[in-house]
A and B are shown apart, each in its own frame.
Chain A
Amino acid sequence: MQQRLARGEESALGELYDRFASLVHHLANKIMDDPEAAEQITREVFGYIWENPDAFDAKHGSLRSWVAALTHRQAVNRLRQVAHGATRDREAVEAKVHAASTAARADYIVSSMPYPLRQALDLAYKGKRNYRQAAAELGVSEDEARRRLRLGLQLLSTAADDPERQL
C-alpha cells in the first residue's frame, strides 16, 4: 500500500480511504463533537498521508494504529485551538481536551479489541444479557464469558491512562 501511494497511484488512495475513512471520521467526530470539523480533519489526515507517503514506518506498529494516532493528534490540536478561542481558562481547556481524548481512545480500543471480547461486551452492555446467557449465545463456558467481560473492561479501562502520552 505504502509503495503504491508513493508511486502516485490514485487507486491506492481510494483503497486507503475505503479502509480507514470511517475510523478517521469517527475518531475526529468523537473528539470534536462536530461533523463538519470531523470532515475537515478527515481531509487533512488523508491529504497528509497522500502528500507524505513515506511518513509511516511499519517498524512502529500497524498502518491502522498510525492512522488513528495521526487523526487523534490532529483532532486534539484542533480542539485545543477552538477551545482556547472560546475561553482563557487554561485548566478548563485541558480538562475538555482530556475528556474528549479519553472518550476517543476508548472508542478506538473497543473497535480494535479482539472480536470475542467485543462480542461479549456488546451482548452484556447493549443486549442486556447476563454472563450465563452470553455464554450460552456464544457457545462458551460461563468461566470464559466472565473472563471475556473482565478482560474487555480491563482493556477499555486503559483509555483513561493519560491518553495523550500514549500516542
Chain B
Amino acid sequence: MTPRPGPFPGDDEPPEQVGAREPGEYRIPRPRASSHGSRGTRGSLGSVAGFGPHAADHRALRSLLGAWALHACSTEEADSVDRHLPHCTACRDEAERLRDAVRWLSPDDPLDLDPLLRARVLEVCLGRRPPRVPVPDWAAPYTAESARLDALLGSLGDEEWDTAVGLVWLGGARGFSVSGVLGHLAAVDGLVASVLGLADPLGEGAPRETVARTDAFARQHADRTHEEVRTLWRRQTHSIVRTAAFAGSGASRLSVNYGEFALPMREAFLDRAFECWIHADDIAKAIDYPYDAPAPEHLKQMIDATASLLPVAVAGRRRQGLAASRAKLVEAGAPGRSIRLEIEGPGGGDYYVPLDSPAALATAEESVAHIALDAVEFCQLTAGHRDPEAIAAGVDGDRDAVRDVLYAAASLSRL
C-alpha cells in the first residue's frame, strides 16, 4: 500500500487515509475507527462568533465544514465559517472540495430492478457456459419469488419494518410484523429444508403443522433484529435451492410432511414459491408498495400444482358434509362428472376437475359447469384472500358444482 498525502493538507493531525488505495482496486478508503469525537471543540460554538485567528477557533470552524457545506448549521455558524475562509487557505480548500462533493449526493434512490431481468441475465450466462449443477425447473419459481421478496425487503425503511401485516386465510386471520411474516416463511420453509438434510431452524423434534411452527419460530427467535431474521430466512432459501440442485431428480421423489398433509418435493417447492409471493404481496400492500404477480411461466407452474390439489379438496369437503352438489358413485378411472376451470390471462390454463371422486376421469363430455377466472384472482382465492361467494368469476351450469369447486379452492388456504 502506498499512502498518498491526504487531500486535506493543513489539517491539525496526520492526514486521514482518504486518498490512499492500492492500484487496480475499486475501493473506498475506510475512515479510522478511533474516537474522533474527543478532539476539537466541545459544546456550543457560540463563542466563536467574534473569532480571531486562534488555533481553537480554527479547529472549531474546521469541524463545522461538513455541516456548513450541507447547509446543516445555524446562520451564525455559517457566517463565522464564511468570515474565516478568506483568512485560511487550508479551510478554504477543504470547504470548496466539500461543497463540490455535495453535488455528487443524489436525492433519488436507485430505481428498482426489473424482476424479470434476473431470468434474462441467467439465461445469457447459462447459454455461454452450461451449468454442471443446474437448478431444477421446479425450483425456479421459488428462487425467483424469494429474490423478489428480498429486493422488496431491501427497499424498506427502518420504520416500515414495524408495519402491521395482516395474514388472512379461509376462516382465519393473524397480524404480524414484517419480520414475523419472514419468520412464518422461514419456519414453514424449514420443513423442506429438513427433508433435504439441512438443519431445521426450529431444531430437532419441532412440530410440523404450520401454525405451531410459526409460533415456535416467534418464541425461539423473539430477540432477533429484523436484519437477523431476514438473513436467516434468506440464507435458508439459498441453502434449500442449492441442496435441491445437488440432489437433482432424486429430490423430486421425496415427500414433505406438513403434519396434516404431505406434498411431493416438487409441489412443496411450488407451494413455498406461492406462499412467498402471497406474503410478499401482503407486506407490499401493508406499506402501500406496488408488487407484481410472478412471471407467467412460474405462475403457470404454481396454478398447475394448485389445480392438481382441487379434486382431493372437493372430496375432503364432501366427506365433511360441506359439499352442495350430490356425488354419483364412480369407479376409479371411469368418467364422472367434472367442472371446467378456465384460468385466464398470463399463467392460465384449462382444467377439468373431477367432482365425484379424485380417482374418476374428468372429461369434457361429462362437464356440468364452467368457471372462468383470472389467473391472479384464482391464486388470491386459493390463498383465502377472496370470498368464494363474491369472487369475480364467469360461471355457467350447475351452481352447486361451481360452489363446491370455489369453496374447495379457498379451503386450500392456510396460515
Contacts and interface: CB of A to CB of B under 8 A. Distances in A.
Interface of A: 7-15, 17-18, 21-22, 25-26, 29, 35, 39, 42-43, 46-47, 50-51, 60-62, 65-66, 68-69, 72, 102-103, 106-110, 112-114, 117, 121, 124-126, 129-131, 134, 140-161, 166-167
A91 B30 CA distance: 34
A113 B27 contact: no
A10 B131 contact: yes
B107 interface: yes
Interface of B: 7-8, 16, 18-19, 21-22, 24-31, 36-37, 40-43, 63-67, 69-70, 72-74, 94, 97-98, 100-102, 104-107, 110-111, 113-114, 117-118, 120-122, 124-126, 128-135, 143, 147, 150-151, 154, 238, 241-242, 245
A47 B120 CA distance: 11
A37 to B, nearest CB: 13
A12 B36 CA distance: 41
Contact of A146 (B63, B102, B104, B147): B63
A65 B26 contact: yes
Contacts, number: 221
Given A21-B117, A114-B30, A141-B37, A146 B122 contact: no
Nearest to A25: B113
A128 B28 CA distance: 26
A107 to B, nearest CB: 6
Contacts of A14: 118, 122, 135, 143, 147, 241
B129 A50 contact: yes
A70 to B, nearest CB: 9
Contacts of B66: 146-154
Contacts of A60: 22, 24-25
Label chain B's interface by main secondary structure: loop
B113 A151 contact: no
Contacts of B106: 106-107, 110
Contact of A125 (B98, B105, B131): B105
Given A117-B31, A125-B102, A9 B132 contact: yes
A147 to B, nearest CB: 5
Given A106-B104, A107-B106, A18 B36 contact: no
B72 to A, nearest CB: 4
A157 B98 contact: yes
Given A8-B131, A149-B67, A150-B98, 11 more contacts: A9-B133, A10-B135, A11-B133, A14-B135, A61-B22, A65-B25, A107-B106, A125-B102, A153-B102, A155-B31, A158-B29
A150 B63 contact: yes
Contact of A109 (B28, B118, B121): B28
Contacts of A42: 117, 121
Given A14-B143, A130-B74, A150-B98, A8 B129 contact: yes
Contacts of B143: 11, 14
Contacts of A7: 132-133
A51 B129 contact: yes
Nearest to B109: A126
Contacts of A152: 66
13 contacts: A7-B133, A11-B241, A39-B117, A50-B128, A61-B27, A68-B26, A124-B70, A149-B70, A150-B63, A154-B101, A155-B29, A160-B100, A167-B24
